Chain A
Amino acid sequence: MSQAATGVAPALAWRSPWLAAWALMLAATLGLWLGKDLWPWVVKYPRGWVVPLKGWIGDFMKWLINDFDLGLFTFKEFTRGIAWVLEWPQWLAKGLLAKGFKIPTGEDAFWLTPTLSWLGLVVVLSLLAYRIKDRTLALLIGFCFLYLAVFGQWDSAMITLSSIMVAVPLGVAGGLALGIQGYRSPRFERAITPVLDLMQTVPVFAYLVPILFLFGFGPVAAMIATMIYATPPMVRVTLLALKTVPEEIKEFGRMAGCSRRQMTWKVLVPAARPTLMVGVNQVIMLSLNMVIIASMIGAGGLGHDVLASLRRLAIGEGLEAGIAITLLAIALDRLSQAFAVTSPAGRHGQEGKGFVARHPYLIFALAVLLGATLLGLVVPGLRDYPEAGQVTTGPFWNDLVRWININFFDQFEAVKTFLLLNLMIPFKRFLLQMPWTAVVAIVALAGLQLGGWRLALLTACLVAFIALTGNWEKAMITVYLCGISVVFASLIGTPIGIWAARNDRVHKVVQVAIDTIQTLPSFVYLMPVVMLFRVGDFSAMIAVIAYAIPPSVRYTDHGIRKIPPALIEAARTSGCTRRQVLWKVQLPLALPEIMLGVNQTIMFALSMLVITALVGTRDLGQEVYIALTKADTGRGIVAGVCVAFIAITADRLIGAWARRRKQQLGLE
């Protein structure tokens, strides 16, 4: 008791000056707003003061693309060279899986090689799953790929798979290399951290245009955009994984006299493998997230099918193609996870035998694949899944949406109108009227309180940048849309997370559900939402909420499960009810983790902006999208960086809060 009291007293004393500071800030904001006629520049950033940064960046990019000469070759030739190199693995994968190779047989004729048989692939992949894990995984993999065939998604899925097959290993290898370099040299780590932040938060549309110019229009440019987007988590995870390798293992490596290279590859990386696989999982998930956007710039495949179906409002067909993407993600993820935990045991003691004897499974798999493919030359049903056997549930979904639309539109409309008029529009007006100077000051004060001078300075500069580049109004609309969505997503996600944490069966179901939401392209549910709620902010909000719920669920679940059981036991023995345990012990202790979930929710919400631009919002996402369609590099990058700065500001403030809170709770 006395211990608790002494803990509270300094906390209060520490808080009261801050309370005063916040009251002062509130008064100042009100004063600024009232004085808007005296000094209009305080409230609204004057147009004349806008720094023409987008023009400068546009000019710089033009110079980079057209005139930058590296001596032997120009920069553009250099990037085109990279594109040319990357084209080969893609050509190979596509030839095998989707298109076949053209083998010239005469001056003007060629023979098109058959693609790998669908049946052969299904069998071989299931066998692989059985070999590295168990029958359950084999069934799952078999089911995923059979779905592709039966629902007529095979050809498109193979195009998507062939580009993922190239992008993911390259992303993983690149991320691993950067991460190892960062582990070896703290200076390098400091240098790449802000770059990683930008790569993860600048919307993809912002840098598509320069990528198209530098790497050419087509699948390779799409692949490079995918890699830029999907690699950063791998770098971060590598850094974290290497840092958390236990000291004893490192010590052992040093005692065994490892060289630096041996230390890295024989000791650190194998020891860190479980954590590294989290990074691989992220690369796979994010790459498949990019499938839709990549198809907009020429990747084709499933993403193209989703877009094309929805354009003619065939919602069911779009959903089927979208689910194909999800299943592909799940199959690849589970396979790679299983692969990571298989021990290399079993190889020992076979050194004397021949290649065939050592690899019976490999040989058998290759034989099945080749056999089925060659047989496919004779039996067409083996080569391509017979069209007569394909099924579609398309009409069902289309009818369902129509039925809901006709029977329930008015009810939806009532809810929507209520929320719009009483919550969304007032909040939007409020934010748009906030003096920009006050917003900068508020963010700085929050930074000061939570993390000290450096954080205050950083966040103030980031926010001021947005005003300086003339994107203030759009940024405020962004904050409004994302802010409201994040609140709703947290309100929905946190209780589900709590539920999942306290019940293992719910936990399992919820895991599958959020994995699905995360990989199902949001475009699939965006169009039905538009049909039911019309074009506008409300539809955008629903889409953002749907996409942003998973992290909120995940982190809450994880945060509560992570609490040491001893603490809960202690609470129980001191007579707490189940409810008291939840409210007095579990939730307070899990709060830092839950707030990190909120942080991720914000990141997810911001990354959805690009998609919501497609239903006509007027925020930074739309600005980026307009810049993309006008091929205006500078405008897109500046608006994209503004989005990134909002994200980084939120991230730093919440991160600082969570760290402080964890220290107070004695968790760190």
Chain B
Amino acid sequence: MTSIKTPPTERPTPADSTPAAALHSGTSDLRALVLNNLRQSGIYVALVVIVALFAIMTDGVLLSPGNITNIVLQYSYILVLAIGMVILIIGGHIDLSVGSVVALTGAVSAVLVIQQDHPWWVGVLAALAVGIVVGAWHGFWVAYAGIPAFIVTLAGMLLFRGLTLRVLDNISLSPFPSEYQQVAAGFLNGLLGGQGYDAFTLLIGAIAVAGYAVSGFRTRVARIRYQQPVESFPLFVARVVLVGAVLMYFAWQLAHARGLPIVLIILAVLVLVYGLLTRRTVFGRQVYAIGGNLSAAALSGVKVRTVNFWMFVNMGFLAAVAGVIYSSRSNGAQPAAGNMFELDAIAAAFIGGAAVTGGVGTVVGAMVGGLIMAVMSNGMQLMGVDQSTQSVVKGLVLLVAVAFDVYNKRRAGTAR
């Protein structure tokens, strides 16, 4: 997230160990860098192209302040699901039940808050608890009973949809009290004033950019100190400026609409936490090890069952978070809520570079994959494209993305 991996074919750059070296060492071979990072950067390029394409075709409506806010509100729960999903896929599993779990957790929350008049936070906590229990249920069957995740969660998909109908007694519940609605529809704004725009949103945007730059620079300094290859300094600056510009543009647009959506804060925190969890913790690394080679991981002392179990518990938790956001956004609970969400989440993970065979994928990649799907859906809706065409286009994009991935791997594989 904070640094582009330099191509493995590069020789380590000889460098002295002072941070000042960070200013002038590193490779400038842009072509090698681009080629070798095609797999990672491919999806970023795809996102940019798709955004540009739809921005032109919608006469700029796509990038209008109101619509950008809309995209965030409309697809946040898919992105939350995609975080848990990509972790499972990296570990070599899958979860087909998340749509049903979104419905069930929303239903439980609605029954408590709407029917039984409990405060809003009781509904949220109960939903999260239900999600965790569901995750533990799946985790038990996959990790300890040894049933493939595909089967367990296919059963879960039916099971929890049925329980949703039972909980709701086959009717929709609505509306939630306004505090509950704030989760998905609320904004932080006006805290610092501003003329026609929200200064607070811009400040948060600026902090995010600064954080990105500082952590990127620190990683770079550390890498040089440990004599690892890094990109050249101008390239590093270019990357930070580019990302910073995109972030600030995004914040600027939000600031001119309704301010900072609360759900975006939730999402940003989750992406940050899970990004670090997958890359920097023992647990995260064990997930990759299990997905990459199960036997080797087991023979390296990884507690495979425990890790598998917690992966599913985590998915249940995130499905509940998505369930709360979705019920808040739709201002109620419906028996058919969350239908097909699992497929969007799975598609996001795979478009974002996760491998069907496990062991490969990133949280950030899944987010970009989810955004590609979101921008396409939103853009086509703006253009008035009918549902059937939307489905065809999304299907083809998924296929092409994975085909590209497979092609890349095959090419890499023939080098030996």
| A and B held together in a complex | no
